Amino acid sequence: MVYVINYDGQPLMPCSQAIARLLLKQGKAKCIKRTPFTIKLLYQTTNYTQGITLGVDTGSGKIGSSAVTENGNILYLSEIEVRNDITDKMTQRSKYRRNRRNRKTRYRKARWLNRKNSIKNDRFSPTMISKINSHLKEIKFVQSILPITKIILETATFDPHALKNPKVLSSKWLYQKGINYGFANTRAYVLNRDSYTCQYCKGKTKDRKLEVHHIIFRRNGGSDEAKNLITLCKTCHDNLHDGNISLKGGKAKGQLKHATQMNSIRQQLLKIVDCEETFGFITKEHRQILNLPKEHYMDAVAIASQGNNINFKTNQVLFKKCVSDGDYQQTKGVRSEQKIPTNKIMGFRKYDKVKYLDREYFIKGRMSSGFAILMDINGTKIDFNNAPKGMKTPKLNNMKRIGSRKTWIIQAETIQNIC
């Protein structure tokens, strides 16, 4: 399937590969996009289109989208991995900045509350802005290649307190009375829960001094919740830290940030996008009726089709990954003594899409000596040990650049047994 843009830049219904090949051969169209393959007509034509519904499975980690016609023909499938590394990168940048200030500008007054973004009202964090823009960019992208007439978003509201303690759903009073209600703190609750008895020796050591211990250590990501705490006598506690005994179970620190983010993303998308809203339980029911596997792009198919019969006109799924706009680090080393080239090396940049040994890859890293490290869309380094002699280490002059670096990288994959 080939997507078609008319002479005025408006999307038309897609055509078959044979028709697209004929139009290109006759000079009546030109290729404007390789992935997905899209052509633009070089002559005026009618603008007849069908009604197409775009279904979007919103998410804080991955987004699924699909375009379905009124007749149930599926014309587009994609899955986008959004960025979750912005906070870590900003923290690292802050660390470098503070270290540099201490080394070079100790005399200069510290400034951090004079930025407009840090003091303005209704401000979103950089992570939230990135995730909202990722949803909007995907919607705009599909609208640029297909005549979308209707948009359906699957959204959800999350209750972090109920996710942490599902029992609150059975009684509204549990919102005011948590598991620590009636106790001074979590330690007092755990001691009472364990009947003031060592849970390892059951009192056999006769040691009356009790301590509350983290089953999974906090340095290893253990939670401070009661499920990760246990009552031990001092003797068993000392033996545990000496490595003489061990415990099983525990609970790692939970992450509710994605649920919190989705509450805000949902509100912003419904304000910005002219769309209908649906919910996860409806999508699940429709997906089971259609007998589709649990994938984000298949959820999007269930959203767009609304449970009606479907017919896959494409078996190609576009996997996209959002990446940073550029590499801004200029130097490396404790004293910034070694410069890092951030511009092109032999015409190539990081995340450029290249063709090497008749296959498509992305550049993960470049060397000024002319060599490169290649990866797939998941960031996995490609091993070329089985390549022909002289090709085991990829060289930039042996590659052909087929796509320049953008704010997301795209790779099309064929899914078997769906058409």
- Has residue 154 got a pLDDT over 60? yes
In this prediction, residue 166 has a pLDDT band, given cuts at 50, 70 and 90, of low
Q: What is the mean pLDDT of residues 354-377?
A: 93
Residue 377 has pLDDT above 90, yes or no: yes
Q: Which of 97-101, 266-270, 346-350, 392-396 has the lowest mean pLDDT?
A: 97-101
Cβ 153 vs Cβ 279: under 8 Å: no
Q: Is the pLDDT higher at 226 or at 38?
A: 38
CA separation for the pair 154, 288 (Å, rounded): 16
Look at residue 173 and tell me whether its pLDDT is greater than 80.
Answer: no
Mutual angle of helices 126-145 and 257-272, in 10-degree steps: 50
pLDDT band at 165 (very low <50, low <70, confident <90, very high): low
400 has pLDDT over 70: yes
* 352-414-50 Cα angle (round to 5): 100
374 has which bridge partners? 363
**Could you tell me the pLDDT band of residue 285, with boundaries at 50, 70 and 90?**
very high
Tell me the C-alpha distance between 263 and 160, whole Å: 10
Region 25-38: mean pLDDT is 95
Alpha helices in 291-332 (DSSP H): 296-305
Six token digits for residue 138:
């995907």
pLDDT of residue 102: 81
| 3-state secondary structure (DSSP) of residue 275 | coil
Q: What is the pLDDT of residues 73-90, one digit of tens each?
A: 999 999 999 999 999 988
Query: Confidence class of residue 119 from pLDDT cuts 50, 70 and 90?
Result: confident
In this structure, what DSSP letter does residue 73 have?
A: E
User: What per-residue confidence (pLDDT) applies to 163?
Assistant: 62
Residue 174 — pLDDT band, cuts 50, 70, 90? Answer: low
pLDDT band (50, 70, 90) for residue 101: confident
Calculate what percentage of the chain has a pLDDT beyond 70. 91
CA distance 409 to 302: 26
Let me know: does 171 contact 178? Beta carbons within 8 Å.
Answer: no
For the segment 343-351, the average pLDDT, to the nearest whole number, is 91
> No. of H helices and E strands in the chain?
10, 20
Q: How many residues are there in the chain?
A: 419
- pLDDT score of 167 more than 70: no
Residue 181, pLDDT score: 63
Q: Note whether 68 and 74 are within 8 A (CB).
A: yes
Which of helix, strand or coil describes residue 410? Answer: strand
Span 221-234, mean pLDDT? 87
Rg for the chain, CA atoms, rounded: 28
Tokens 């802050």 belong to residue = 94
| Residue ranges in 242-290 assigned as alpha helix (H) | 257-272, 280-290
User: Does pLDDT of 172 surpass 60?
Assistant: no
Mean pLDDT of the chain: 88
Q: At what angle do helices 86-104 and 126-145 cross, to 10 degrees?
A: 130
Q: What distance in Å separates the CA atoms of residue 150 and residue 145, rounded to the nearest whole number? A: 14
**334 pLDDT higher than 80:** no
**Given a cut of 70, is residue 105 above it in pLDDT?**
yes
How confident is the model at residue 108, as a pLDDT? 75
Check whether 139 has a pLDDT greater than 90: yes
Contact predicate 173/205, CB 8 Å: no
Whether the predicted pLDDT of 343 surpasses 90? no
Distance CA 386, CA 250 (A): 44
Neighbour count for residue 20 (Cβ, 10 Å): 20
Range 392-403 average pLDDT = 94
Q: What are the pLDDT digits (tens) for 288-313?
A: 999 999 999 999 999 999 999 999 99
361 neighbors 354 (Cβ within 8 angstroms): yes
3-state secondary structure (DSSP) of residue 409: strand
Task: Give the predicted TM-score (pTM) of the model.
Answer: 0.80
- Is the pLDDT assigned to residue 187 strictly greater than 90? no
Q: What is the pLDDT of residue 253?
A: 62
**What band does 287 get if pLDDT is binned at 50, 70 and 90?**
very high
Mean pLDDT (whole number) for 180-203: 84
| Average pLDDT value for residue range 137-151 | 97
